[in-house]
Chain A
Amino acid sequence: MRSDADLVLSGAEEVVLPKTARLNKLRWHCRRALLELDLVFKRYWERVGDSIDAEEESALRALLAEEDHDLWALVSGKVAPDDVDVVRDNLLAELRRP
């Protein structure tokens, strides 16, 4: 059963999925080609659990669209993003936190 509270407006494609399913899908999209990223995301999910809010969720979804090597460069701090986005930058800091 799906309740309205489960629905978050975060990108047209995701609207119809209940929150648990949406987070499960995001979790799967954190399976990457580089072990470095797998480990970072494992640590991240262990910390945040299901408590991730809508803003962070869509920032994460956007990050996950990056290619693996670019994503690792961002997460490890080797490369800085070329714009400012507070939510994303906070998320990157969180991902980077050992």
Chain B
Amino acid sequence: MSYTVRKFDAVIVGAGGAGLRAAIQLSEAGMKTAVLTKVFPTRSHTVAAQGGVAASLGNSEEDHWHWHMYDTVKGSDWLGDQDAIEFMCRKANECVIELEHYGMPFDRLDNGRIYQRPFGGHMSNFGEKPVRRSCAAADRTGHAMLHAMYQRNVKANTQFFVEWMALDLIRDAEGDVLGVTAMDMETGEIVVFHSKATIFATGGAGRIYYSSTNAFINTGDGVGMAARAGIPLEDMEFWQFHPTGVAGAGVLITEGVRGEGGILRNSQGERFMERYAPNAKDLASRDVVSRAMVTEINEGRGCGPNKDFVLLDITHLPPETIMKRLPGIHEIAVQFAGVDALKEPIPVVPTCHYQMGGIPTNYSGQVVVPKGDNHSAPVGGFYAAGECACASVHGANRLGTNSLLDLLVFGKSAGETAVNDLKGGALAHKPLPNDAIDRSLARVDRLNNQKSGSNPHETRLEMQRTMQKHAGVFRFKDMLVEGVTKIQKVADDVAQLEIGDKSKVFNTARIEALELENLIEVAKATMVSANARTESRGAHVRDDALDTPETPNGRDDKNWLKHSLWSRDGNQMSYKPVQMKPLTVDTIELKKRAY
């Protein structure tokens, strides 16, 4: 069958922060560059980021990249690769200043330098005291970042394919990547993007969970495509949960609410955090609060008819304080919890927020896979950056403001490496395999022809509920074992999805079914990896991992200081070592993670 082939030096899938940053590098080097995106670039999820981007500029007080590196290694619970972390922290200043030159309107000090504010986990002098490291543009940091980089790309002649959905990765017999297939949503046509370099920057997959702070667009397409194409996924058991998402909706309620005196209560009206953290109480760290909430729910002290949430109470605060110091909270509570927060408490649950794992890369942005003795051999022509990738700088737990930094540094690095590979002649338009488009056509055909299949909406819900219940904040051996079986059953249903609408133009039912086929790969990877890792580390917390002198907080460095790799083929786990050796400085030695 005949189909359209479009040829580019580089094809980037994703126009969020990571994709736009990579595209600048390629287009400005004169490479013919296409960027594919499901939504208009400045509607990518990066827009939601408000907190800021980390860089040790030291504009308000002394700071150093080495301190930032220490915080990031510690935050990662030592699962982060120390070469990549050093690379990121050393590049941070350069990348932030570049962004300033692109026109990013950072908040400023009176002396004209970028204003910086403190953020959880960022400290001075190797963990001594909080430091001002986060650079922001009011409460629209992500939005301003995307605008600045989009404009820069327009100037550099990057070619945007807006409302195009990449469907599958194209690899040849040698395993090299030759581009992607993609669907033009406007017409439903599927074409081949034939490229010398392919960069994935498709963002996270937070929608695998029932309760998620992520917008609907975060369906892990890049991660799903990579898994289907035989790339193992790294550290997928690690998901960051935010303690206070509105129950049932997921919308994030900022830490500021507890900072202003908000209190968490169980069904008996008890301020339960007093039992779990007598000093810090409701202001204990994210993971401590989340675990306490889940314990209350699991022990039957949750609220509501299903006893499945707790309450965030601010009714004792003066209404003026709420309206002035916590703008937006009142609107969110009315809209998504149906309560007037001045008079009634807000139902909340720990909510999935950030994906630490993803497509394995090195710090140059090359996608790497095990090959013979080499556990990190680059895949020809394939690069990844941003939340879909695992460099791995966040390890088992990400620090706030480090992900916007990740996408700047590794977006640039992936672009730069691709430019060098293109200029050095390492990459060419290798001949397309005969079946380049077949897999994608078959997927869409099956959707069109499926009879008596499963309902996408119900199947998605089943996946999300299974993930929430069996691989949530707090993990239990029996639940994980059962979860593996359950999620496989959901995967069987996903293979039989049936859609009613068979039209071609902006067929949202089809798009959502195709997205669900990506989400389920992420869900399987998460469940199987979590079941296999029998220790607690960072965001992966198991009830059966005991706190002993050899395994502080359940962390078992002797057996588990290693990265997980989940392969779709056979649903199997393998492992690779953590890179403990930084680029130039000494290793940051293992220690118990305590704040």
Contact = CB atoms under 8 A, between A and B. Distances in A.
Interface of A: 17, 20-21, 24-25, 27-28, 31-40, 42, 67-69, 76-78, 96, 98
Given A24-B505, A28-B163, A36 B335 contact: yes
A31 B331 contact: no
A28 B43 contact: no
Nearest to B507: A24
B450 interface: no
A97 B44 CA distance: 26
Contacts of B185: 28
A59 to B, nearest CB: 19
B249 interface: yes
B503 A21 contact: yes
Contacts of B251: 35-36, 39
Contacts of A36: 251, 332, 335-336
Nearest to B142: A33
Given A38-B215, A39-B336, A78-B327, A33 B503 contact: no
14 contacts: A24-B506, A28-B511, A31-B43, A31-B217, A33-B48, A34-B215, A35-B250, A36-B336, A39-B251, A39-B336, A42-B216, A67-B42, A69-B47, A69-B140
Contacts of B140: 69
B216 A28 contact: no
Contacts of A24: 501, 503, 505-508
B341 to A, nearest CB: 13
B213 A27 contact: no
Contact of B216 (A25, A38, A69): A38
Contacts of B215: 31-35, 37-38
A68 B503 contact: no
- In order of increasing CB-CB distance, the 5 nearest A-B pairs are A33-B47, A21-B505, A76-B331, A24-B506, A25-B506
B280 to A, nearest CB: 28
B478 to A, nearest CB: 32
Interface residues on B, range: 35 or more
Nearest to B328: A78
Interface string B323-347: 0000110011011101000000000
Interface string B383-404: 0000000000000000000000
Interface of B: 38-39, 42-48, 140, 142-143, 163, 185-186, 212-217, 249-252, 327-328, 331-332, 334-336, 338, 501, 503, 505-508, 511
Contact of B338 (A32, A77, A98): A98
B249 A39 contact: yes
Nearest to B248: A39
Given A77-B331, A96-B335, A35 B213 contact: yes
A68 B506 contact: no
Nearest to B215: A35
Given A24-B506, A28-B185, A33-B143, 7 more contacts: A25-B506, A28-B511, A32-B215, A33-B45, A34-B215, A35-B215, A78-B327
Given A21-B505, A24-B503, A24-B507, A31 B335 contact: no
B165 to A, nearest CB: 10
A40 B335 contact: yes
A76 B43 contact: no
B51 to A, nearest CB: 14
Interface centre among B214, B217, B334, B508 (most CB of A within 10 A): B508
A42 B336 CA distance: 12
A35 B47 CA distance: 11
Contacts of A39: 249, 251, 335-336
A32 B506 CA distance: 16
Query: Which of B38, B39, B213: most chain A CB closer than 10 A?
Result: B39
Contact of B47 (A21, A38, A68): A68
Contacts of B331: 76-78
Nearest to A40: B335
Given A35-B214, A67-B42, A28 B506 contact: yes
A38 B206 CA distance: 14
Contacts of B503: 20-21, 24
Contacts of B163: 28
Nearest to A25: B506
Nearest to B510: A24
